[in-house]
Amino acid sequence: MSIRRWRRSAHEEPDEPDERWMASYLDMVTVLMCMFIVLFAMSTVDKDKFEALSNSLATGFGQKSSVTVDAAKGVVVPADLLDEDAEGFADVPLVDARAEFDELSALRDRLRKALRTKGLESTATLTIDDRGLTIGLVSADTYFATNSTVLTKKAVTVLDAIGGVLVDVPNQISVEGHADHRTAAAPFATNWELSTGRSTQVLRYLVEDQGLKPTHVKSVGFGDAHPVAPGTSSAALAQNRRVDIVVLSDAPEEVRRLLPRLQAAQHPN
């Protein structure tokens, strides 16, 4: 074999096909698969989980300082997502409940100030519970005479004080009438009609005299099913002849359930 022919044979390519291109192809397919998985995950994103992931990634890349780690989920938790009294993610409903409680507390303070200005602070109870803010027209001084739906002068004075505050409240308001346990007499067939008549009179006064929007107010009668004072004394009967004005919370149920807990924490026994 000549030297020229030997050199040509040495540089000839092998007969087997070159498959090095497959490595690049597989890398590209893997990247595409990851991209479509991410796009699918983003199309069905859970807001809370997305925020948790976002903060975790931000911490991992050094944009947020690491405070603590949720070992159960392997996520680094920034300080703004930590609850004050517990480790881990802050309870989102609890955060919303605190905001709702603050709004109701501010309304309660305004009502107390309005009643205090007219020397009527002891004529109504103001309670925050899982329904919202309840204004109880309950006192030793009766707001209704026996078997009557006519508002007494005391009731009118109190409604004048609180109506000026409630007129600007956007929440729905439930006016709820109650009767004492004694059997109703004519013109009322039962205590249901009597209690409903009392709530309707309060509703009409708030709407017609104080300017509350009719679309924001409803009237309910509970008869004698929900007494607040036991016994048959005159004072107990007077307190059970009452009307509750409930400023209904418009927060979700899971948020409203936490309001009594916040109320108890503010006024521990």
- State percent of the chain over pLDDT 90: 45
Domain match, 181 and 229 both: yes
Domain match, 73 and 105 both: no
Q: Is the pLDDT of residue 8 over 80?
A: no
Q: Is the pLDDT of residue 91 over 80?
A: no
**How would you label 143-153 residue by residue, b for 16+ Cβ within 10 Å and e otherwise?**
bbeebebebee
Average the pLDDT over 210-233 and give the result: 93
pTM of the model: 0.64
Tokens of 185: 């007499």
The position carrying tokens 């009179």 is: 201
**38-71 residue pLDDT tens:** 777 766 656 666 677 667 656 655 555 545 544 4
Domain match, 135 and 36 both: no
* Tally of structural domains, the chain: 2
β pairing state of 125-129 and 217-221:
unpaired
Q: Is residue 69 part of a domain?
A: yes
CA dihedral 92, 96, 98, 103 (to 10 degrees): 170
Alpha carbons 250 and 62: distance in angstroms, whole number = 40
Q: Which letter does DSSP use for residue 18 in this model?
A: P
Alpha carbons 236 and 241: distance in angstroms, whole number = 9
**187-213 residue pLDDT tens:** 999 999 999 999 999 999 999 999 999
**119-140 residue pLDDT tens:** 998 888 999 999 999 999 876 5
Please provide residue 133's backbone torsions phi and psi, each rounded to the nearest 5 degrees.
-110, 120
- State percent of the chain over pLDDT 70: 72
Domain match, 9 and 136 both: no
The domain boundary, picked from 36, 51, 81, lies at 81
Query: What is the reported pLDDT for 235?
Result: 85
Query: What is the reported pLDDT for 75?
Result: 43
Query: What is the reported pLDDT for 74?
Result: 44
Q: Are 128 and 266 in contact (CB under 8 A)?
A: no
Alpha carbons 224 and 124: distance in angstroms, whole number = 19
Confidence band for 13, pLDDT divided at 50, 70 and 90 = low
Q: Is residue 28 part of a domain?
A: yes
Query: What is the reported pLDDT for 131?
Result: 95
Alpha carbons 185 and 16: distance in angstroms, whole number = 108
Q: Which residue has the higher pLDDT, 3 or 44?
A: 44
Q: Which of 99-113, 176-190, 224-238 has the highest mean pLDDT?
A: 99-113
Average the pLDDT over 85-113 and give the result: 82
Alpha carbons 208 and 229: distance in angstroms, whole number = 31
Q: Is residue 234 part of a domain?
A: yes
DSSP string across 116-180? HHTT-GGG-EEEEETTEEEEEE-SSS-SB-TT--PBPHHHHHHHHHHHHHHTT--S-EEEEE---
Q: Which residue(s) pair with 68 in the sheet? A: 77
Domain match, 148 and 249 both: yes
Rama region for 261: left / alpha / beta (φ>0; ψ in -120 to 50; rest): alpha
Give the CATH number for residue 134. Answer: 3.30.1330.60
Q: Are 247 and 218 in contact (CB under 8 A)?
A: no
Q: Which of 114, 194, 97, 104 is nearest to 158 (CA)?
A: 114
Query: What is the reported pLDDT for 12?
Result: 55
Confidence band for 22, pLDDT divided at 50, 70 and 90 = confident
Domain match, 49 and 138 both: no
Q: Which of 12-21, 84-93, 169-178 has the highest mean pLDDT?
A: 169-178
Question: What mean pLDDT is reported for the chain?
Answer: 81
Average the pLDDT over 66-78 and give the result: 47
Q: Are 243 and 202 in contact (CB under 8 A)?
A: yes
**175-188 residue pLDDT tens:** 999 988 999 889 99
Q: Is residue 73 part of a domain?
A: yes
Task: Show the domain range for 227.
Answer: 93-266
